[in-house]
Structure 1
Amino acid sequence: MTQNPFGENPLDALGEALGGALGGPGGLDMGALLEQATQMQQQLVEAQERLAETEFSGTVAGGAVTVGVSGVGELKSVQIKAGGFDGTDADDLADLGDMIVAAYRDAKANADAEAADLLGPLAGGMGGGLPGQGGPGLPGGLGF
């Protein structure tokens, strides 16, 4: 059997070598790192819960159509201003459908912006960010 040039446990040697930069004398403090990761995970869960409970609105055509969505993109409400549409006119109904879609996209953009503001700091240092989180360089925007 050959002798390991790094001692009995190579990770101990690595910890000693990096000790000053990553946890002081004696190497890495894995307990502290685990505690910090657990705290960050709890903060992330709490932020996601707040987002899911918050309703964001989007409006088009001067308030003719308003849509409400949850912070996770779930459609909650659609409000149509009375008198603005003729239910017997096919063009009016097509326009109404387009306005509902546009209002939803506006509401979702508001929810995505809030999610990026709320979750972005928690994703710092996690590489590519969180799955479904919008923002520069982060695909998905709530995964929709």
Structure 2
Amino acid sequence: MARGGFPGMGGMNMNNLVKQAQKMQKQMAAMQEELNEKTLEMTSGGGAVKVVISGKKEIKELKINPDVVDPDDVEMLEDLILSAVNEAIRQADEMYNNAMGKLTGGMGMGGMF
């Protein structure tokens, strides 16, 4: 084995590999910060409930149309809120995964950085 190289790595030395990993880590950190600043808006019930969520998955705003507030049907309102919140979280995850996938070239990094 050549000094600083690994068999089957095509002569790539450890220093280059570490530099590439550090560069990718910095890019991922910058991307995460950018994504954390973005917001997504989801609605349910034809706009009866609106949720604004950050890239950090923090609920920033929740609006409920007063017309859907029925004291005799609280369950429907609960379902509308859950639907909007869950869709917002799903969209935030998708936004994050798409951005990181572009950065890593589709490699599953699974919390590596």
Q: Distance in 2 between matches of 1:83 and 1:51?
A: 34
Which amino acid is 1:62 matched to? G
Q: TM-score scaled to structure 1, two decimals?
A: 0.65
Aligned residues: 111
Alignment match, 1:22: 11
Alignment match, 1:129: 109
Shift of 1:11: 6.1
Alignment match, 1:54: 38
Q: TM-score scaled to structure 2, two decimals?
A: 0.81
Shift of 1:53: 1.1
Q: Which has the higher contact order (CA 8 A, sep 6+)?
A: 2
**2:49 counterpart of 1:65:** yes
Which amino acid is 2:24 matched to? M
**2:80 counterpart of 1:90:** no
Identity %: 34
Which amino acid is 2:5 matched to? G
Q: Is the 8 A contact 1:69 1:76 kept in 2?
A: yes
Alignment match, 1:109: 90
Q: Distance in 2 between matches of 1:84 and 1:18?
A: 64
Shift of 1:111: 1.0
Shift of 1:123: 3.7
* 1:11-49 deviation per Cα after TM superposition (whole angstroms, max 9, x unaligned): 63x838658x233xxxx2x22222211110001001111
Q: Is the 8 A contact 1:55 1:71 kept in 2?
A: yes
Q: Is the 8 A contact 2:39 2:52 kept in 1?
A: yes
Q: Distance in 2 between matches of 1:61 and 1:16?
A: 58
Q: Distance in 2 between matches of 1:16 and 1:119?
A: 28
Alignment match, 1:99: 80
Structure 1: state its 5+ residue gaps: 1-9, 132-144
Structure 2: state its 5+ residue gaps: none
